[in-house]
Structure 1
């Protein structure tokens, strides 16, 4: 095909079927279970160790099911035990015979689980999904020489950390001992009722602060075909969960009766997947990537809660909420380049919604200021005291990135600017209240924290300096762009001009003043100025050298020092952070090495889930794999689009369609046998784009006509594009360019590489979580 535009022809159904997850082993924990969700409710199907051998359960979760206990004072919020995610319950599927095996498939394209559960007496077919547009879980069983009884079992809403502390576990000292000494009054027992053929389980929370109703109906015959429809709603401060659940069940019954239930569910997914496309001659990486797209679509919705560490899939965890010192930030990078913008709206939307709570997280005398603690419930009530507002500043970098990628200038001015200004006011208040008398006359930051590093507390911490530089500069940039002329602008500039420099030694960026980077550390907090903030970029040779030295040193100490530390020294996000940073330095092979390292990390399960300490879900690590892969193919920091900036030699053939960049451009590109065939850039807003390609003497075409473009001193090209106009960049004439994008072929052995069964035994995570 030699037309004038990219010829995109991919059959997503056929393409994604090669990445469906398969099970031929019985899943017995959440890490090996099939998962389904719609951003708020969802289920996992697995046989718990404590269950009888003829029972397998649908474990139901609801993403926004949090406790709402009141704190006596702001300093006494005890979020870990008073404001955490709560367990919900499960449906038991009980057969006559013992379960002897399974043959199941998670169909990504239709977001549906199908298959057969085999027993010593017979078997039963299953089909399950979480409706994409209604909070309904649907599950059907169809028996052969079997009977399947379905029963609901509510779980008590006990905060998981409270259970651990009361049993003598968990850290000792300080806050932990305070929480251990508290006796929480428990919520009342649930009450059960029936109405109009529906069964209801009503669970009020302690002191009537919040309530959850689970409603369900089972239609059919346990010895034949039966259907379960279930809905869950959590409400606070309203008391309307019963009405909403009833309404959801009635809606589902109408859709089923009109045979629209499945088609209305599929519609969302069939519009979601084609938003962008990626294919690589590396089946395992391609597969892992697309499963993350399924997982993200199952775990997040723009109008839903902030994606915490679990999404809709609850597990008793020591980290039962939103973590703001890295986890939430990583989650909200994935949707950007993938051009799946709407599912990433939940972060900016909730920041806008709860902006007042952010202002209440600082001392009363700090006027017009905002902050948030390192961990937080969904409503962002998490007192930060009179400390630096680092966690909120970093979360706002995600908000800013979202607007950069969507090209939403008015929201930048009207929503982000005010909350970022309040965050910066917290920095100004901190600096004023904590002066440091220094001979150099610079502004120093007396005391802050480099997350998770030990010893990471002290003066002039690079993590904090990076966030101050980014937030103050961003305010000035927005002010300049929109001619706001804010009265505080001079003060912001004064801080930038006089702030102490980053702390650096022969090994690059230090942790802070008199704090060299010397201990293994999974977190890259001291490197934040590089990634993701790009306050120091690799554009200048001396900066690139500094960043390379810092990155190499971080990984060398973390992997090779032999020092023992309590926390896992190398986690999933250690690998993806390293991969993205090497990609930003243009080192494709190292970027690939760490991308591969993630899949081989034992804590990545065969279903691409991830946990630490074996039980604590941390959803962001596998999701950030997609971010690293994006960074290898396409980068757009600093106002420049870089195509294939770090594409490894192994990926000889690779193509992507409609990946998104900052400035709201959609980019498509393709390599054939290691050489870039073409790059296409479309402007969604109509403005100039600066592009860097990885081949010599590019030719430029708009609407099939050749145009001349001058090369800048840095090797990039500046092209003016009208709204919805595209430029095609190729190394030869347009007629000779292959503008087609199709899926790359996969052999039988390269298909369906994840799930839980024979094929997943190659993965270290299979053994790590396996009971077989």
Structure 2
């Protein structure tokens, strides 16, 4: 291999290609006929982001994690024992007692865990989470010898596989399964959340043998079950544990499926072939490289985490993803968490993981069924918390909240959660221009979500349309003309009018939507600072940025409107100036708002604070229990620094940190269904390539000074023109490419990692 051509990561990487054995390290090489293609060793590149452990992790915040969107496993020391815990959890496993609400009666249920129990006392570990192969490898050293370990949760099968090659002194190691009590984790007294009257745990699991396998059958009081099956297979010098989980409701049919999975599982090396192919394709769908080694590693770990936690046909991610630990949050949260979890799928070109669009379409009946009876015929909404079918059950003050009714007293839960969730669906549409998604899900559901608001809008003495008191997520008090709801209502009406034009439909509600846009009450502002709502100032520390949605992510109020700059700047400073209640996603929100203000160093500063103050050694995050959205949303903040495509303009490198002199992108997905590739060298954009999937209008803000050359992949001139503000409009039909660079320059269009920089300490426990 011509190492100097294949990688610019330096001689330290020369030996890392060995980690790709059996996986195909060779990348698709760029050539004259493939400008903007990869020209590096993917396995060696991703090896620099691998998590490593030279000390035994003692909690889920420290250890390796594996998953496939359904089955999940976190690995760490069994507390108080000479053993390693390997958790078994599943995103579909939940209770089915709606009378106790989403957080108890419909809560996700813990399943249990295996312990690997060595013969001798554990004296050390040397583990590596190989991102390229999505596989944990390494050794456990004991007083009696050693155990070489490999583990995967198979990407295409409901299967956890752990291969152990023991030394002579460790041949007698044991596996033991420990079933968990099937009760909502929120019922744990540590959380001080009293269960509803009459709520009780499900009966204990039944453990039995089934021929060459074992079963833990967990019956549920409401009918149905979940079953864990496992099998310990010896082949030559190795023992392999195969484990699978199946769930069914209301029938009890899980045992057969779980047993089939463990009995038909192939030898570990055979299993990894399909598994590795899927993961290699996953990573290659896009590419980002930046000169901050620690942050670059974090980016790729989150793409691993995302694909471990999400699949289009899996449940929308609960707050902990598939890794259910003891938590007061055993459900899916819709007042911020879901929205933030999924933003990174767009820029990273992973729309195949979009469970939100699929679930909102599939369970749309529940979105109307949980409104009060008078509003169900024409409206829809989503509660703060739901199960995997978007059901909240029968709610009370301890177990969750239905969709609120504006003007209620006492304060009501949020009414805008569905509209905000549909902004995610709109983003998926805008990044793909998928007409089916627009026609079948986005337009009809957004129409119903906005119709719910329309029931409560009324004229005031000033002639403007006003909302009665509603609830800004978690601020604690209701406010009339709540900023959160006004922003979503404006965005929803404007978007419905745009979508109706795209669909070429004449909707009878269109005049009402136009009336709202013309006459809706303005946002409440006090001293150039956005308020929670009319008469309710932002006056205390608050982790949510829901009162700033009109700035980000809705881009209704933008930095490109000079008259709004002071308002945006002061509102951001005012919000983060109250320190006490800020949490990790406060800093990802502040970073993205800073990027919208074109302040790259400020955005990078907020991400630095996030890393230093809130992220765990394995990049997980917690607020009491596991909360998955914050690390994933940090990737979106990074993407906002690299590319912004709102408002019909593709802005390249709009807010990068000054220290990011070199950058590389490939197939970064943008609104308009474009794939953007680019290279930045020594602080200047050298070239960009844009590929059009749908033939939408293409307007670029490339950030390249001087005269431009705009060509196709063969170097032939493309039709383009400079707009009055300096942007570049390029004529691109569906399937066509355009390459842009300074006239007279002859850039190398190959995409390669940039030279590493900054502290290179790996994540994990090095």
SS in 1 for 2:267: helix
SS in 1 for 2:720: coil
Q: How does 1:657-672 map to 2 (within 5 A)?
A: 657-672=666-681
Aligned to 1:400: 426
Aligned residues of 1:140 and 1:225 also touching (Cα < 8 A): yes
421, 429, 447: which one pairs with 2:455? 429
725, 741, 750: which one pairs with 1:740? 750
Aligned residues of 1:394 and 1:467 also touching (Cα < 8 A): yes
Q: How does 1:152-301 map to 2 (within 5 A)?
A: 152-164=177-189, 169-170=191-192, 179-180=194-195, 182-208=197-223, 210-220=224-234, 225-252=238-265, 255-256=266-267, 260-301=270-311
CA–CA distance in 2 between the matches of 1:597 and 1:629? 14
CA–CA distance in 2 between the matches of 1:317 and 1:26? 23
Q: Which 10-residue stretch deviates more, 689-698 or 311-320?
A: 689-698
CA–CA distance in 1 between the matches of 2:291 and 2:195? 53
SS in 1 for 2:126: strand
Give the TM-score, by structure 1 length: 0.90
Aligned to 1:509: 530
Q: Confirm or deny that 1:679 pairs with 2:688.
A: yes
SS in 2 for 1:741: coil
47, 64, 83: which one pairs with 1:17? 47
Q: Which 10-residue stretch deviates more, 24-33 or 185-194?
A: 185-194
Aligned to 1:412: 438
Aligned residues of 1:69 and 1:82 also touching (Cα < 8 A): yes
Deviation at 1:284, TM superposition (A): 0.8
CA–CA distance in 2 between the matches of 1:33 and 1:187? 29
485, 498, 521: which one pairs with 1:500? 521
Deviation at 1:640, TM superposition (A): 0.9
CA–CA distance in 2 between the matches of 1:576 and 1:246? 43
CA–CA distance in 2 between the matches of 1:303 and 1:508? 42
Deviation digits for residues 263-289 of structure 1 (CA, Å, limit 9, x no counterpart): 011111011000001111110111110
Deviation at 1:523, TM superposition (A): 1.0
CA–CA distance in 1 between the matches of 2:383 and 2:443? 20
Deviation at 1:745, TM superposition (A): 3.5
Deviation at 1:2, TM superposition (A): 8.5
Deviation at 1:477, TM superposition (A): 1.0
Deviation at 1:181, TM superposition (A): 5.5
Deviation at 1:708, TM superposition (A): 5.3
Q: Confirm or deny that 1:94 pairs with 2:124.
A: no
Deviation digits for residues 584-636 of structure 1 (CA, Å, limit 9, x no counterpart): 111111111112221112x31111011113xx111110111110111001011
Deviation digits for residues 70-118 of structure 1 (CA, Å, limit 9, x no counterpart): 32xxxxx532221111111011111121111100011000000011111
CA–CA distance in 1 between the matches of 2:709 and 2:610? 38
Aligned to 1:720: 731
SS in 2 for 1:231: strand
Aligned residues of 2:718 and 2:731 also touching (Cα < 8 A): no
Residue 269 and residue 752 in structure 1: after superposition, are their counterparts in 2 closer, same or farther (change >3 A)?
farther
Residue 6 and residue 212 in structure 1: after superposition, are their counterparts in 2 closer, same or farther (change >3 A)?
same
SS in 2 for 1:61: strand
Query: Unpaired segments of 5 or more residues in structure 2?
Result: 1-29, 393-401, 407-413
Aligned to 1:490: 511
Q: How does 1:437-586 map to 2 (within 5 A)?
A: 438-454=460-476, 456-556=477-577, 558-559=578-579, 569-586=581-598
CA–CA distance in 2 between the matches of 1:57 and 1:106? 16
Deviation at 1:438, TM superposition (A): 2.7
Aligned to 1:44: 74
162, 166, 182: which one pairs with 1:139? 162
322, 327, 330: which one pairs with 1:312? 322
697, 711, 716: which one pairs with 1:701? 711
SS in 2 for 1:421: helix
Deviation at 1:232, TM superposition (A): 0.4
Aligned to 1:629: 638
Residue 539 and residue 238 in structure 1: after superposition, are their counterparts in 2 closer, same or farther (change >3 A)?
farther
RMSD: 1.9
CA–CA distance in 1 between the matches of 2:337 and 2:98? 26
SS in 1 for 2:491: helix
Aligned residues of 1:655 and 1:741 also touching (Cα < 8 A): yes
Deviation at 1:229, TM superposition (A): 0.3
Aligned to 1:68: 96
Aligned to 1:766: none
Aligned residues of 1:22 and 1:752 also touching (Cα < 8 A): no
SS in 2 for 1:226: strand
Aligned to 2:12: none
Give the TM-score, by structure 2 length: 0.90
CA–CA distance in 2 between the matches of 1:419 and 1:138? 41
SS in 1 for 2:455: helix
CA–CA distance in 1 between the matches of 2:391 and 2:366? 6
Aligned residues of 1:325 and 1:374 also touching (Cα < 8 A): yes
CA–CA distance in 2 between the matches of 1:543 and 1:472? 22
SS in 2 for 1:505: coil
Deviation at 1:224, TM superposition (A): 5.5
Aligned to 1:28: 58
SS in 2 for 1:648: coil
Deviation at 1:709, TM superposition (A): 2.7
SS in 2 for 1:646: coil
Aligned residues of 2:719 and 2:730 also touching (Cα < 8 A): no
Q: Confirm or deny that 1:390 pairs with 2:416.
A: yes
706, 725, 742: which one pairs with 1:731? 742
Aligned residues of 1:361 and 1:385 also touching (Cα < 8 A): no
CA–CA distance in 2 between the matches of 1:415 and 1:88? 34
Residue 120 and residue 377 in structure 1: after superposition, are their counterparts in 2 closer, same or farther (change >3 A)?
same
CA–CA distance in 2 between the matches of 1:13 and 1:256? 23
Deviation at 1:389, TM superposition (A): 2.9
Deviation at 1:361, TM superposition (A): 0.9
Q: Confirm or deny that 1:124 pairs with 2:139.
A: no
Deviation digits for residues 240-293 of structure 1 (CA, Å, limit 9, x no counterpart): 2112212222331xx329x53110111110110000011111101111101101
Deviation digits for residues 306-338 of structure 1 (CA, Å, limit 9, x no counterpart): 011111211010111111111110011011100
Deviation at 1:751, TM superposition (A): 4.7
Aligned residues of 1:443 and 1:499 also touching (Cα < 8 A): yes
SS in 1 for 2:222: helix
Aligned to 1:151: 176
Aligned residues of 1:370 and 1:389 also touching (Cα < 8 A): no
CA–CA distance in 1 between the matches of 2:323 and 2:187? 20
Aligned to 1:764: none
CA–CA distance in 2 between the matches of 1:746 and 1:155? 44
Deviation at 1:684, TM superposition (A): 0.9
Aligned residues of 2:150 and 2:163 also touching (Cα < 8 A): yes
Residue 430 and residue 251 in structure 1: after superposition, are their counterparts in 2 closer, same or farther (change >3 A)?
farther
Aligned residues of 1:280 and 1:286 also touching (Cα < 8 A): yes
Aligned to 1:600: 612
Aligned residues of 2:66 and 2:73 also touching (Cα < 8 A): yes
Deviation at 1:131, TM superposition (A): 0.4
